[in-house]
């Protein structure tokens, strides 16, 4: 059987103050018909904003894009340990999969659980 996996960047505006952890729990605990979706939150970044109906995040696509770029200027994939740009993605020691940088991971991929991100391609053996 072939299936598709989608990595998406999604912006949530939390008017009910669920918080990042609460929002993650809602996303991951929602049961979809026929178990067609299994969402996993891989990372979260949060910023507080003063909200009104004229906020740029409540506008057109261009104003939303500009506001997101200003609120979240860091790379989308960051190391779950130190926050540096991520160079790999993997799961270790029965922990959920997460992004890591070269320093915190060490790579090697000897166990097959570390996959490079676009930020770093695996080196070929000479």
pLDDT digits (tens, 9 = 90+) for 47-63: 899 999 999 999 888 88
Based on the domain organization, do 15 and 67 belong to the same domain?
yes
- At residue 19, the pLDDT reads 92
Q: What average pLDDT does range 12-16 have in this prediction?
A: 90
| Counted domains in the chain | 2
Neighbours of 100 (CB within 10 A): 24
pTM of the model: 0.53
Residue 75: pLDDT band by 50, 70, 90 thresholds? low
Expressed as residue numbers, the domain containing 48 is 1-73
Q: Is the pLDDT of residue 80 over 70?
A: yes
Domain edge (last residue) among 34, 52, 73: 73
Based on the domain organization, do 4 and 57 belong to the same domain?
yes
Q: Is the pLDDT of residue 14 over 60?
A: yes
Rounded to whole angstroms, the Cα distance separating 72 from 46 reads 8
């Amino acid at each position: 059987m072939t299936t598709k996996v989608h990595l998406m960047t999604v912006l949530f505006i939390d008017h009910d103050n669920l918080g990042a952890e609460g929002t993650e729990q809602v996303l991951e605990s929602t049961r979809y018909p026929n178990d067609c979706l299994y969402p996993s939150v891989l990372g979260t970044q949060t910023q507080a904003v003063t909200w009104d109906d004229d906020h740029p995040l409540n506008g057109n696509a261009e104003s939303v894009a500009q506001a997101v770029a200003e609120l979240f200027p860091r790379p989308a994939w960051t190391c779950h340990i130190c926050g540096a740009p991520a160079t790999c993605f993997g799961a270790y020691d029965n922990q959920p999969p997460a992004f890591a940088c070269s320093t915190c991971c060490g790579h090697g991929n000897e166990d097959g659980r570390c996959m490079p991100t676009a930020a770093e391609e695996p080196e070929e053996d000479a």
